[in-house]
Chain A
Amino acid sequence: MTATSTVTGSADAAPPAGPPRRRGGLLKKIAAPYQQSHGVQRFMLVTGTAISVIIVLLAIFAPLVAPYSFDTYQADGVRFPTQGEPSDVNPWGTTVQGFDVMSRTIYGARTALEVLVLAVVFSLAIGVPLGLISGYVGGWLDRILVLIMDALFAFPYLLLAIVAAFLLTNTIDSGIVVTAIAITVVYVPQYFRVVRASTLSAREATYIEAARAMGAKPGTIIRKYLFGNVVQSVPVIATLNAADAILTLAGLGFLGLGIQPSEAAEWGYDLQRAIADAGAGIWWTALYPGLGIVLAVTALTLVGEGLNDVLNPTLRRRRVKRPVISSSAVGPASAPEVEQEAG
């Protein structure tokens, strides 16, 4: 889907999404995709969730799990060797700066989680309201926002993050929050597009018309009726974006634009330092942080794709025998988008 089709509005011609459902228990809602899935899908969902949970636990309890802190270079008064091979003291070896690779890898999960949570919250806080307002209000505001967001969307995402990180670190500061902001710039357009598309289709739905007829103000309609309905398309993109955000974070770190090494352990930065090691045949400084990235991204992608499969009606076409209408809350408008943005 190129940006142009959105400019002309053809991408928005989606059938209206169903009316909002009664709010069930939150737990029930979260469990629903797991119960409805089967076969490969269920396996993907469960595996992805399991790995994600483990990584999150590692991130939270990093000080307890890791043998040392991420910037420890000695134990019991003895300095670690630099580029030391895996040993009893340093099970995964040491880096060129004499840090313990295992500790840095585990603490790297913590950094990734912190940035991820901030970036997703920021992008949601900006992208969702903008998409709602743009889709519901329409007019020139909508056109301008679409133009800007499409331009940002067409931009190579890593380059966008690079420029944002470059400017922010030059003018404000570096660190976890700044890196999260740089990543936010990349993902706001995606939330905006998806939320706007579902808003456009929901706007014409009967229940919105009814609300309007009863004299509800635009603000009330957006907050009370549209938000709850439209926001259901967000979890899938949020999960897939989170996977993507880890890659962006690592990319920035690899290019030296991310978090400074003294502030936190970051997988991408560690891989940058490993380039020189690779030339000397040293594998442990590259392998473990890299596996951290792959594992985290894969886990989140599995969850995102699994959710997408379950919630996405267009992909269910081949199993027509048992139509499951109750979970079609993700508007068909967002379905093809998600499939592509997974890439």
Chain B
Amino acid sequence: MSRAGSLRGYILIRIALMIPMVWVLLTTVFLMMRVAPGDPITATLGGKLSPEEVAERQAALGFDRPLIVQYFDYLWDAVRFQFGTTITDGQTIGDLIAENGGATLTLTVAALLVALLFGLPLGLIAGRYRETIPDAFIRLFAILGYAAPPFFVGLLAQLLFAQRLDWFPASKMASPIVQAQAETHTHILIVDLAIEGNWSGVWDVLQHLVLPAMTLGLLVTGVFIRLVRVNVGQALGGDYVEAARARGIPERRVVSRHAFKNALIPVVTVMGLQVALLLGGAVLTEKTFSWPGLGSRLLGYLTNRDYIGVQGLITFFALVVVVISLIIDIINALIDPRVRY
């Protein structure tokens, strides 16, 4: 701890530490899905097929083997990014992620942008003018933004901006005609349309994106405001800020150059945690706006009791969270030399 290690060492250790983490996550998912009595086939199709047919399917998919064998199989598949084939619609999880992942990616990235756009400035203002009226209002806004679940905000937004004012479309990712025109290149609709040069299509998707992105973004905005506010408050009390003031640097410069910059570093760290919040919120937002992403698919599999579908998507979400938090930690180590093992 006392001697700062090298950056390369840090990154290597960080990656090595990811392995037990992933293992525990995968094991947890497996145990949770399989500790339940019965096997996936019986749970999904038990009522619909005869016992012989169920047994046949079990054998075909390997669910009649000992649990421990299935466990190692599952681990091995997950390491190779293969999460199985769904029971109800026979899609591989990989295809499914390729097909619907783009929509979720578009939504979460847009929401993150919204959150940065509103959260950072508001947090800076609140932190700079602590314990004043603007601070109190911004704080209340942050609490309300977090307290209002995305589906409620989404419904209100639909009622106001789609129904009453008719500014934006209420749901779905694009108009049917745009959806039909689009050729598949990257599976991310807006990028595909841009590649085709279909700018009116891009505009259409952007219009559809506004309400869901704002809805999901609001959730994270509240978190950002709180974080930035606390950090700015602490930075302004720091010794180096005091020193800068003592050197006669104008207060405005002290705040913008010295305090704000340092206050934003911890925000990067915590962004990693927000990925989990974003993904959870995305499931709710997708349902509210009929957004054709992974969350919508997950809900479909939940309703149909498709264990493989649920297990595969949950595993994928878990891996995404772990990998992103790894990337964030590395970025954090790059910008903050104090972060070393």
Contacts and interface: CB of A to CB of B under 8 A. Distances in A.
A166 interface: yes
A30 B29 CA distance: 41
B36 A170 contact: yes
Contacts of A154: 21, 25, 276, 318, 321-322, 325
Nearest to B22: A151
A250 B36 CA distance: 25
Contact of B155 (A8, A40, A290, A342): A290
Given A147-B20, A167-B36, A275 B280 contact: no
Contacts of B222: 343
Contacts of A281: 159, 163-164
Interface string A285-315: 0110010011001100110010000000011
A171 interface: yes
B17 A148 contact: no
A4 B273 CA distance: 12
B93 interface: no
A254 B329 contact: no
B143 A247 contact: no
A297 B148 CA distance: 8
B33 A4 contact: no
A166 B136 CA distance: 40
Contacts of A109: none
A98 B187 CA distance: 42
Interface residues of B, number: 75
Contacts of B33: 163, 167
Interface in A1-26: 1-4, 7-8, 10
Nearest to A300: B147
B148 A294 contact: yes
Nearest to B37: A171
Nearest to A289: B152
Interface string A134-154: 000000000000011011101
Contact of A254 (B29, B143, B149, B305): B149
Interface stretch (B75-83, B189-197, B255-263, B281-289): B281-289
Nearest to B163: A281
Interface string A276-289: 00110101001100
A337 B256 CA distance: 27
B14 interface: yes
Given A40-B136, A156-B279, A301 B147 contact: yes
B265 interface: no
A252 to B, nearest CB: 10
Interface residues of A, number: 62
A255 B285 CA distance: 11
Contacts, number: 188
Interface in B157-188: 158-159, 163-164, 170-171
State the main secondary structure of chain B at its contact with A. helix
A117 to B, nearest CB: 20
A188 to B, nearest CB: 13
B284 A151 contact: no
Residue from A159, A297, A305, A342 having most chain B Cβ neighbours under 10 A: A159
Nearest to A254: B151
Contact of B269 (A1, A147, A251, A343): A1
Interface string A150-190: 11101111110011101100110000000000000000000
B149 A298 contact: no
A321 to B, nearest CB: 13
A119 interface: no
A71 interface: no
A171 B36 contact: yes
A287 B164 CA distance: 15
B226 A343 contact: yes
Contacts of B29: 163
A114 interface: no
Q: B20, B226, B280: which has the most chain A beta carbons within 10 Å? A: B280
A247 B230 CA distance: 24
B279 A3 contact: no
A197 interface: no
Given A257-B302, A318-B233, A340-B270, 15 more contacts: A1-B270, A4-B325, A4-B329, A147-B20, A151-B24, A158-B284, A162-B302, A163-B29, A170-B43, A251-B151, A254-B149, A255-B283, A286-B156, A286-B159, A343-B146
Interface of B: 1, 14, 17, 20-21, 24-25, 28-29, 32-33, 35-38, 43, 130-131, 135-136, 139, 143-144, 146-149, 151-152, 155-156, 158-159, 163-164, 170-171, 222-223, 226-227, 230, 233-234, 237, 269-270, 272-277, 279-281, 283-284, 287-288, 298-299, 302-303, 305, 310, 314, 317-318, 321-322, 325, 328-329, 341
17 contacts: A2-B269, A3-B21, A154-B322, A156-B321, A158-B283, A162-B298, A164-B32, A171-B38, A243-B147, A254-B151, A255-B302, A272-B151, A278-B158, A290-B149, A318-B130, A343-B222, A343-B277
